[in-house]
Structure 1
Amino acid sequence: MRHPQRLLLSLAALITVSSCKSEAPKQPPPPKIQAVSTQMAEFTEGVDTVSTLEASNLVELAAQSGGRILELKIKQGDEVDAGQLLVVLDQAQQQAKLAEDKAKADTAKANFERYQYLSKTGAASQKELDRYRTQYIAAEEKVKSTEATLNYNNLIAPSPGMVADVTVKVGDVIQQGQVFTSLVQNNELEARVEVPAVFASRLALGQPVLLSAPGSETVIASGKVGSIDPRVNKKTQGLLVKAVFPNEDGKLRDGQRLRTRVQIKAQEELSVPFAAVTQTSGQSFVFRLGTFEELKANPGKADLEKLEKGIKAGKLPADAQFALQTPVTVGELENQLYPITKGLEADQKVATTNLLNLKHGMPVQVQPAKAN
């Protein structure tokens, strides 16, 4: 005989199990995201190349007189002032030459005076007198020239600047006209930039020019287009542009080669942050936030029936926001912003966080952005 209590317990257990199986599993809450509105931002178009810096004021120093160097008062890297003594020369050879020139001048003078007397007495012709007069004048000019050369026995700086490589040393014999160093003024440098001629019509004086180290995006100096060559290089089809860069801190150097960007255009364009854009198979996408009605216009693989039931049952708010994966066309990244040329409109919101967990048609919870 069966026990009634056991039968009742078994029946109750079956009812409990059956009830549990009929309950639907709870859905996870919509993912939390942060979002920003599309906005207008200024973007620039530029020409990137490499340029060489040149000192605007570079003076090559050459000996105005020859001689053996007795004192060398400069070395590479020294800062000198205008009029500062640089080199002292031993001009014994020049002194000897001056004595020789004076002796020749005295002889020429005596000959001229003798023929001047003979010409008066008729013993010499006017032609002979003119010849000796010419010789005397030439000898006097030679003396003056040698004396002037001797006045340059001490070489001085014609202008202020920094001394470059010095190619002579004490004891060397330096020749007149021989370059022995240069003075460089690095407070202002000029970049010679070759821009493709196709950009000729878009170049203008005053356009910004930015310098950065090779392989770096960090701008280390900025200047402006100062001049544009009216001619195009026949071989390279380039147009020479010169830009001047102030260099009061001395960080830039004459002869330095740097990455150079000439900004030829600046305009306002619709933009989104770098963090809002994903790439799939070469196509850029953003997750735009939209309403259920917008999702229905482009459902993709979203389960519209399930989502609509959720809204009617109150599990999703009537004004719920949905992630709408939207293909976009973007330009070059600048200041952590992408210009949008196709796919979005002004003031539309796009997700900037949790993108890896989003799918098209997924409801989302928009959180306020964290304060900086």
Structure 2
Amino acid sequence: MAKALWPGLAALGLLALCGCGSSTGRPPQKVTAAPLEREVFVQSIDTVSTLEATDEIELAAQAGGRIQRVLVQSGQSVEAGQLLLVLDQTQLKADVAALQAQSKSDQLAFERLAGLAQEGAATALQRDEFEAKAIGSRQALTAKLADLSYKDVRAPIAGVISDLSVKAGDVLQAGSPFSRIIRNEALQARIDVPAGQANRLASGQLVQLLDGQGQRPVAKGRVTMIDPNINAKSQTLLAKAKIENSQGMLRDGQRLRTRLIIGAERHLAIPFEAVTRQFGQTFVFVVGTPAQWKKDPGKTPLATIERLPAGSNVALQRSVTLGPLQGDRYPVLKGLSATDRVILSNGSGLRHGSPVRLKQP
């Protein structure tokens, strides 16, 4: 019985020596690899900001009265000079009509007396008295027409009506605010910068307002003001930036993730998909040779590595230090060189020293 086992054991030994395609016992894994290139990566401070309108006007009537008509609503865009409210004008219109009649009468009386004065039938003093009366009537009419115009409340600037607090039938007091007009085309970002980053700020630096995911810029501007003092409670420094909002996507009071661009540097770049993380550390796999593997064999016996053909490729795991992800690439701060070829595909099944075969492009 023992003799019958020897041929089978011998066959198993031969299979072990063959290694199923490589001296490590694993067939080469097909992978895609790419050389490293240097790219420009921005240095930035990520924080938050609150938008405020630089053009915001409280609306108040110059004359009081009962509201007859409300011609706008909250959130409506208006043009400069557009009619917003109409106040009761009944008494003023009657006053204007009376003054118009009086002014016309006084003017005709003056003209008749002026003609008589030229003929010597009236004195210059009488003519001057009638002229002064005609002028006074015109001035009274002009003043009353101005009062009447105040009963039509118009927009002083173009913008958006905010928080309209009146309705038809309400009595409006002269000078009492009833709404606001906000121009969202011109906004200012109030940026909260952590105190530890304060010395990196400078006027003119680019500011990007980001979308809800904090990735895509939706608007931009430049730093225009840096407060000299740190807020003791929040431990932040206030910076302000003018923001372009020509498309009207942003609103007064809106709070957004914000990125301050404080500089730019060139680094080796690796794609997002090339990076793996294990136990709090960051790794990538590069294409290496058996000779390179021998310099960092890990737990693999050197004899196993030496059995590999000299021209074969293996995956070498490298610990790397990366900067923040920008787009789909990381800047490499430490751990790789420009001569490395980073493995992009099938990295999840690799281990340090795994035999690999490069896919043809």
Is the TM value for this pair above 0.5? yes
Out of 315, 321, 345, the position equivalent to 1:329 is 321
How far apart are the structure 1 equivalents of 2:200 and 2:94? 65
Q: Distance in 2 between matches of 1:309 and 1:230?
A: 67
Classify the secondary structure of the residue corresponding to 2:320: strand
| In structure 2, C-alpha distance between the alignment counterparts of 1:53 and 1:77, rounded to whole Å | 17
Q: 1:16 to 1:231 in 2, by over 3 A?
A: closer
TM-superposed CA distance for 1:230, in Å, is 3.4
2:244 is matched with 246
- Give yes or no for contact 1:323–1:363 (8 Å, CA) kept in 2: yes
Aligned to 2:224: 226
Q: Distance in 2 between matches of 1:287 and 1:82?
A: 63
Which is greater in Rg? 1
**Aligned runs of 1:1-372 on 2, under 5 Å?**
23-24=14-15, 26=18, 27-28=20-21, 29-90=27-88, 151-311=149-309, 318-369=310-361
Identity of aligned residues (%): 44
Offset from partner CA, 1:85-140 (integer Å, 9 cap, x none): 22222257889999xxxxxxxxxxxxxxxxxxxxxxxxxxxxxxxxxxxxxxxxxx
Counterpart residue identity of residue 192, structure 1: R
8 A contact 1:208–1:222 mirrored in 2 = yes
Q: Which runs of 5+ in 1 are unaligned?
A: 1-12, 99-142, 312-317
Shift of 1:346: 1.7
Relative distance call for 1:157 and 1:200 in structure 2 (3 A) is: same
| Structure 2, unpaired ranges of 5+ | 22-26, 97-139
Q: Residues 157 and 17 of structure 1: is their aligned pair in 2 closer, same or farther, counting only changes over 3 Å?
A: closer
Q: Distance in 1 between matches of 2:87 and 2:307?
A: 102
- How many Å apart are 1:62 and its aligned residue? 0.8
Secondary structure in 2 matching 1:24: helix
2:58 and 2:177 in contact (8 A); partners too: yes
Residue 254 of structure 1 and its aligned partner are, at CA, apart by 1.6
Segment of structure 1 superposing worse, 170-179 or 350-359: 350-359
* Offset at residue 326 of structure 1 (A): 1.8
Amino acid at match of 1:298: D
1:50/1:309 CA distance change after superposition, 3 Å: closer
C-alpha deviations, 1:152-176, integer Å up to 9, x for none? 2222221112222211111111001
Q: 1:345 to 1:22 in 2, by over 3 A?
A: closer
RMSD: 3.2
Deviation at 1:51, TM superposition (A): 1.9
What TM-score does the superposition give when structure 1 sets the normalisation length?
0.72
Cα distance, 1:249 vs structure 2:
2.0
Change (3 A) 1:357 1:154: closer
SS where residue 324 of structure 1 aligns? strand
Q: How many residues align?
A: 308
Cα offset, 1:205, TM superposition = 2.4
